[in-house]
């Protein structure tokens, strides 16, 4: 009798870098040693570097190849800048546990903010970082202080290497006035399911219409994998959230975003919906970002036509192109309505 084989299901694999660099001092820390052992076990080429901010000799012919290789390069170092950036509107501060990401979302703002350093950095001096977080919490007492861990990276995708997210989760669990939040497009949540979070961490998944995931998010986990992971996270008792970002105006956007909310409702277990938040961010770009994106993803379908956009002045000079008011209002109204149709108890934190 012939065996009927199901088609192979190809999920996004755990990230394994192609190159690993260490700052010598990073090896003085247990986390540095642990990552070194892991890199040896994986048989990865290991190099030393004087500074995690100065990796200049990456292989690759031409800018594109160098960029691709940089995104598969891990640098293990010590975080020296311990002044945290602000992170409005989602939190008071960005907590820096990693910088850079292995995925290739065309619209990602890290392409411009990381400039010529798109490689992935993880930091071993977690005590310094957590002590600094504690100082910020104490300064703002009796107010609650929220920290965002995904401003410069997707830390869930690096957790199997660094273990840093779990440390921050367990640190915040013990801080009556400290809260953590982060967002991910990866489904590799297993190492975090048994963390003692005490309800102080909001675990968010970035989701989007099929069209956006298909065309602009290479290298991330599939929608289905993200939602399955969201169910596990909710079962582990974490407050759950979704960020719909970037919201992109495209042919059929109403069906796309309607379908997204319908699928979320169908798939999530009941415990996931009791304390659910949504954050909505429309697509935006700067002139600099547009140039970088067109160089790195020359065939992208990402619409970045200034003529079709509204210019929004920025605080530090360079402004952004967002959708004109009538489009932004239509996106906000429709997606809000769909959220409340399927999740009447949910909170929408903001639309920006
Ligand atoms: S997963 Fe997030 S951080 Fe990584 S490339 Fe995509 S948008 Fe950027």
> In the chain, what are the domain boundaries?
17-78, 79-351
Residues of the chain with pLDDT under 70: 1-10
Residue 105 Cβ contacting ligand 1 at under 6 Å? yes
pLDDT by residue (tens digit) across 250-297? 999 999 999 999 999 999 998 889 899 999 999 999 999 999 999 999
Residue 149 Cβ contacting ligand 1 at under 6 Å? no
- Ligand 1 atom, smallest distance to 104 CA: 5
Q: Please give the distance, rounded to the nearest whole angstrom, from the Cα atom of residue 101 to the centre of ligand 1.
A: 6
Residue 103 Cβ contacting ligand 1 at under 6 Å? yes
Pick the CATH number of 17-78 from 3.40.50.1820, 1.10.150.20, 3.40.50.12110, 3.40.50.720: 3.40.50.12110
Task: Indicate whether this model's pTM tops 0.85.
Answer: yes
Structure tokens, 193: 């399911």
Question: What is residue 10's predicted lDDT score, i.e. its pLDDT?
Answer: 52
Phi, psi dihedrals of residue 103, rounded to the nearest 5°? -80, 175
- Ligand 1 atom, smallest distance to 183 CA: 2
Nearest residue (CA) to ligand 1, atom 7 = 108
- Ligand 1 atom, smallest distance to 153 CA: 3
Question: What is residue 9's predicted lDDT score, i.e. its pLDDT?
Answer: 47
Residue 79 Cβ contacting ligand 1 at under 6 Å? no
Q: CA torsion angle for 17, 69, 119, 42 (degrees, to 10)? A: 10
Query: What fold characterizes domain 79-351?
Result: pyruvate-formate lyase- activating enzyme (3.80.30)
Question: What is residue 148's predicted lDDT score, i.e. its pLDDT?
Answer: 98
Q: Decide whether 17-78 matches 79-351 in CATH topology.
A: no
- Ligand 1 atom, smallest distance to 111 CA: 8
Nearest residue (CA) to ligand 1, atom 8 = 108
Q: CA torsion angle for 22, 25, 27, 30 (degrees, to 10)? A: -130
Residue 146's DSSP bridge partners are 179
Count other Cβ atoms within 10 Å, centred on residue 327.
Answer: 17
Show the 3-state SS of the chain. CCCCCCCCCCCCCCCCCCEEEECHHHHHCHHHHHHHHHHHHCCCCEEECCCCCCCCCCCCCHHHHHHHHHCCEEEEECCCCCCCCEECCCEEEECCCEEECCCCCCCCCHHHHCCCCCCEEEECCHHHHHHHHHHHHHHHCCCCEEEECCCCECHHHHHHHHCHHHHHHHHHHCCCCEEEEEEECCCCCHHHCCCCCCCCEEEEEEECCHHHHHHHCCCCCCHHHHHHHHHHHHHCCCCEEEEEEEECCCCCHHHHHHHHHHHHHHHCCHHHHCCEEEEEEECCECHHHHHHHHHHCCCCCCCCCHHHCEEEEECCEEEEEECCHHHHHHHHHHHHHHHHHHCCCCEEEEEC
- Ligand 1 atom, smallest distance to 107 CA: 7
Structure tokens, 166: 């779990």
Q: Given ligand 1 and candidates 98, 104, 105, 114, which is best to mutate, with the most ligand atoms within 8 Å of its CB?
A: 105
Question: What is residue 292's predicted lDDT score, i.e. its pLDDT?
Answer: 95
Q: Given ligand 1 and candidates 71, 90, 110, 152, which is best to mutate, with the most ligand atoms within 8 Å of its CB?
A: 110
Cβ neighbours of residue 191 under 8 Å, at least 6 residues apart?
159, 160, 163, 166
Cβ neighbours of residue 81 under 8 Å, at least 6 residues apart?
96
């Amino acid at each position: 009798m012939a065996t009927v084989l199901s088609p192979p299901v190809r999920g996004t694999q755990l990230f394994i870098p192609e190159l690993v660099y260490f700052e010598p001092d990073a090896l003085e820390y247990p986390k540095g040693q642990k990552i070194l052992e892991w890199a040896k076990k994986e048989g990865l080429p290991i190099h030393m570097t004087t500074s995690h901010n100065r990796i200049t000799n990456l292989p690759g012919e031409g800018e594109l190849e160098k960029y691709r290789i940089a995104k598969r390069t891990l640098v293990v170092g010590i975080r020296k800048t311990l002044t945290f950036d602000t992170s409005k509107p989602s939190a008071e501060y960005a907590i820096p546990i990693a910088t850079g990401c292995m995925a290739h979302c065309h619209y990602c703002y890290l392409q411009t903010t990381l400039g010529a350093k798109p490689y992935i950095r993880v930091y071993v001096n977690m005590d310094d970082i957590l002590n600094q977080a504690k100082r910020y919490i104490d300064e703002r007492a009796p107010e609650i202080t929220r920290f965002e861990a995904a401003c410069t990276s997707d830390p869930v995708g690096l957790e199997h290497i660094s273990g840093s997210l779990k440390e921050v989760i367990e640190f915040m669990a013990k801080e009556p006035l400290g809260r953590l939040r982060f967002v991910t497009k990866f489904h590799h949540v297993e190492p975090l399911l048994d963390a003692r979070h005490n309800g102080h961490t909001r675990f968010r998944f970035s989701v989007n219409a099929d069209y956006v995931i298909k065309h602009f998010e290479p290298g991330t986990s599939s929608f289905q994998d993200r939602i399955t992971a969201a169910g596990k996270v909710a079962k582990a008792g974490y407050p759950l959230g979704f960020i719909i970002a970037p919201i992109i105006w495209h042919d059929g956007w109403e069906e796309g975003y309607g379908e997204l909310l319908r699928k979320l409702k169908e798939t999530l277990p009941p415990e996931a919906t009791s304390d659910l938040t949504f954050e909505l961010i429309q697509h935006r770009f700067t002139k600099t970002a547009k140039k970088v994106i067109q160089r790195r993803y020359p065939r992208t379908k990402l619409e970045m036509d200034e003529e079709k956009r509204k210019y929004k002045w920025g605080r530090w000079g360079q402004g952004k192109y967002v959708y004109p008011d009538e489009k932004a209002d239509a996106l906000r109204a429709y997606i809000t309505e769909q959220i409340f149709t399927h999740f009447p108890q949910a909170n929408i934190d903001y639309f920006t």
